[in-house]
């Protein structure tokens, strides 16, 4: 009697463009379950970003050899090249708080000196509070966000010079 060999597991379904459709579906379901507006993952040199806008899931996948630059938006003012020196970007999507709890003084104020690792803000993401710390020491030049406002990944929170 011959033994039957089990078939090898199927590889993830990829479209002609090389996009893993099942991964996109899984990420879209995760967005819906968590209430997030955008999620991005990178795995083995491929990057997939799924975001919700107007109730429609949009997916993009591309190899990640180098950071992409986007075309500058037309404006009356001259376009700045890149982020402001000393900008502290948001490491996640969430709601930013300037003080440890309501009624308490804020962690930072314009003109205040901070050391690397000092808490600048608290970010609430998925009902978890996360401390946002100073990536370097210096003086707070500008606070871009207001207390209790939602922020996106990469959005500038403050400027330390």
Query: pTM, whole model, 2 decimals?
Result: 0.50
Distance CA 61, CA 81 (A): 26
70 has pLDDT over 50 = no
Yes or no: say if 158 and 108 are a contact pair by the CB < 8 Å rule.
yes
What architecture is the 87-160 domain classified under in CATH? Beta Barrel (2.40)
81 has pLDDT over 60 = no
Distance CA 29, CA 65 (A): 27
Neighbours of 11 (CB within 10 A): 7
Average pLDDT over the chain reads 76
Yes or no: say if 133 and 120 are a contact pair by the CB < 8 Å rule.
yes
Closest of 39, 35, 42, 4 to residue 25, by C-alpha: 39
**What pLDDT score was predicted for residue 98?**
95
Distance CA 39, CA 11 (A): 23
Report domain extents, the chain.
21-63, 87-160
Greater confidence (99 vs 79) lies with 99
């Amino acid at each position: 009697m011959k033994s039957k060999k089990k078939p090898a597991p199927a590889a993830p379904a990829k479209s002609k463009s090389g996009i893993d459709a099942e991964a996109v579906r899984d990420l879209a379901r995760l967005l819906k379950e968590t209430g997030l507006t955008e999620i991005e993952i990178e795995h083995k040199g491929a990057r997939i970003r799924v975001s919700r806008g107007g109730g429609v899931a949009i997916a993009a996948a591309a190899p990640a050899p180098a950071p992409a630059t986007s075309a500058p938006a037309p404006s009356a003012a001259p376009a700045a090249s890149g982020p402001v020196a000393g900008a502290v970007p948001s490491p996640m999507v969430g709601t930013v708080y300037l003080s440890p709890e309501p009624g308490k003084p804020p962690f930072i104020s314009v003109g205040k000196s901070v050391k690397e690792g000092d808490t600048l803000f608290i970010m609430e993401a998925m009902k978890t509070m996360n401390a946002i710390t100073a990536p370097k020491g210096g003086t707070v030049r500008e606070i871009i966000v207001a207390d209790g406002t939602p922020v996106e990944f990469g959005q500038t929170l403050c400027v330390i010079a």
